[in-house]
């Protein structure tokens, strides 16, 4: 495959970029944008599985892949060999562990510590760390918005693991070990979505997605293209190391708006959508799921369906004012356009919706 048409690179970008989690949802979108930058000489990518490597290598000869686990010191040593001055984008992590919550801490905390340590040894440049909304839990009111001054109130094991990972990066920046910027994105949507997001689309299409009453709960979301733009803005922004920024679409959306927009996106892309929908479920049901999730996780177990149902009663929304000002970034794509791109990506890959 020939190279993608290139664009000019802003001043301050590094010729070498190291991306962890390059085979994941954000990583695949980020790498595709990086290959359009004419000034990038090498793009070193960590992928977890061997079958992910060819999907990236075919894009451009500048892409170099390292296959392995972010928790493996030998793998991370190989990833950072010859990367002095490189920009690092640390996007590897576990959101929904297969069974045991311990995996969140092993990967999100242990992996981050290893990546930060090897980046310091290699003498890399700007380190962009992808965090999450989960270290901050849920907003206390429906009109509440997280800001950069919000206190940690981590939600379950994932939230605690991402809080610890974020703090590792911020402390390292404070010591001068890495020139780090932390980004806090909420719920993603966009091309190359994982199976869990495709299942969400399918449930909306069938009318079986469980909206928790009253449906006015607000959710900040971020289109992957908007998040990629923020990563590249964070690479060159003249900000103090260790600062953290919320990255989301311009405004949060009500849960009913999200579901209605997915329906509209599916229909606009030629996918038939069921007319009937599952009636709103009582908040008490979501509350029971939250309590069951807490019990399961206290025993070290994780059940994704229970966890997700429990979260659906919450408002999880942020304010991006500081991010706009400090990074010189604004989200370009809004919900319907982004959801349509998500649907097209699924259809192009032959996924059943």
Position 280 in a domain: no
Q: CA-CA-CA-CA torsion for 172, 178, 180, 186, nearest 10 degrees?
A: -60
User: E-assigned strands of the chain?
Assistant: 16-20, 42-47, 63-67, 87-90, 126-130, 179-184, 187-189, 218-219, 221-223, 243-246, 253-254
Q: Which residues contact 181 (CB under 8 A, 6 or more apart)?
A: 126, 127, 128, 129, 234, 237, 239, 241, 243, 244, 245
Distance of CA 248 to the CA centre of its chain: 11
Residue 187 pLDDT greater than 60, yes or no: yes
Q: Which of 127, 126, 38, 123 is nearest to 82 (CA)?
A: 123
Position 89 in a domain: yes
Output the pLDDT for position 38: 86
Position 175 in a domain: yes
pLDDT average, residue stretch 24-28: 97
Residue 237 pLDDT greater than 60, yes or no: yes
The rounded distance, in Å, linking the Cα atoms of 104 and 97 is 6
Position 120 in a domain: yes
pLDDT average, residue stretch 339-345: 98
Distance of CA 166 to the CA centre of its chain: 14
Output the pLDDT for position 192: 96
pLDDT average, residue stretch 248-253: 97
**pLDDT digits 0-9 by tens, 97-155:** 988 999 999 999 999 999 999 999 999 999 999 999 999 999 999 999 999 999 999 99
Position 75 in a domain: yes
pTM: 0.95
- Beta strands 253-254; 218-219: pairing state: antiparallel
Position 131 in a domain: yes
Q: Are 99 and 106 in contact (CB under 8 A)?
A: no
Position 93 in a domain: yes
The rounded distance, in Å, linking the Cα atoms of 23 and 91 is 10
Q: pLDDT category, 10, cuts 50, 70, 90?
A: low
Residue 8 pLDDT greater than 50, yes or no: no
Output the pLDDT for position 205: 97
pLDDT average, residue stretch 197-203: 96
Output the pLDDT for position 129: 98
Output the pLDDT for position 7: 47
pLDDT average, residue stretch 312-324: 97
Q: pLDDT category, 11, cuts 50, 70, 90?
A: low
Range of the domain at 40: 16-192+221-248+316-332
Domain count, the chain: 1
Residue 33 pLDDT greater than 80, yes or no: yes
Q: CA-CA-CA-CA torsion for 50, 74, 66, 123, nearest 10 degrees?
A: 160
Output the pLDDT for position 163: 98
Residue 1 pLDDT greater than 50, yes or no: no
Average pLDDT taken over every residue of the chain: 95
Residue 6 pLDDT greater than 60, yes or no: no
Residue 269 pLDDT greater than 70, yes or no: yes
Output the pLDDT for position 177: 98
Among 6-15, 58-67, 92-101, the range of highest mean pLDDT? 58-67
Residue 197 pLDDT greater than 70, yes or no: yes
Position 174 in a domain: yes
CATH number at residue 30: 3.40.50.720
Output the pLDDT for position 99: 82
pLDDT average, residue stretch 300-314: 95
């Amino acid at each position: 495959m020939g190279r993608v048409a290139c664009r000019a690179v802003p001043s301050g970008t590094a010729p070498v970029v190291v991306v962890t989690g390059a085979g994941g949802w954000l990583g695949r979108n980020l790498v595709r944008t990086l290959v359009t930058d004419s000034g990038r000489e090498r793009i070193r990518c960590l992928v977890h599985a061997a079958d992910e490597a060819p999907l990236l290598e075919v894009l451009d000869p500048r892409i170099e892949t390292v296959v392995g686990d972010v928790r493996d010191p030998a793998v991370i040593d190989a990833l950072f060999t010859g990367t002095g001055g490189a920009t690092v984008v640390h996007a590897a992590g576990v959101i929904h562990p297969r069974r045991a919550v311990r995996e969140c801490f092993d990967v999100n905390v242990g992996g981050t510590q290893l990546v930060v340590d090897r980046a310091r040894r290699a003498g890399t440049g700007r380190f962009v760390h992808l965090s999450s909304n989960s270290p901050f839990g849920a907003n206390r009111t429906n009109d509440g918005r997280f800001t950069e001054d919000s206190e940690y109130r981590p939600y379950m094991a994932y939230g605690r693991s991402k809080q610890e990972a974020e703090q590792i990066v911020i402390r390292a920046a404070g010591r001068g070990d890495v020139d780090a910027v932390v980004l806090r994105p909420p719920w993603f949507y966009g091309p190359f979505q994982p199976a869990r997001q495709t299942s969400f689309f399918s449930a909306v299409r069938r009318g079986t997605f469980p909206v928790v009453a009253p449906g006015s709960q607000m959710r900040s979301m971020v289109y992957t293209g908007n998040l990629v733009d923020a990563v590249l803005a964070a690479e060159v922004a003249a900000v103090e190391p260790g600062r953290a920024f919320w990255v989301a679409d311009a405004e949060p959306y009500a849960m009913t708006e999200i579901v209605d927009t997915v329906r509209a996106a599916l229909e606009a892309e030629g996918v038939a959508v069921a007319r009937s929908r599952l009636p709103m479920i009582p908040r008490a049901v979501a509350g029971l799921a939250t309590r069951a999730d807490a019990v399961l996780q206290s025993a070290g177990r994780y059940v994704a369906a229970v966890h997700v149902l429990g979260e659906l009663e919450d408002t999880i929304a942020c304010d991006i004012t500081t991010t706009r000002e400090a990074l010189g970034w604004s989200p370009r794509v809004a919900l319907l356009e982004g959801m349509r791109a998500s649907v097209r990506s699924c259809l192009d890959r032959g996924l059943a919706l």
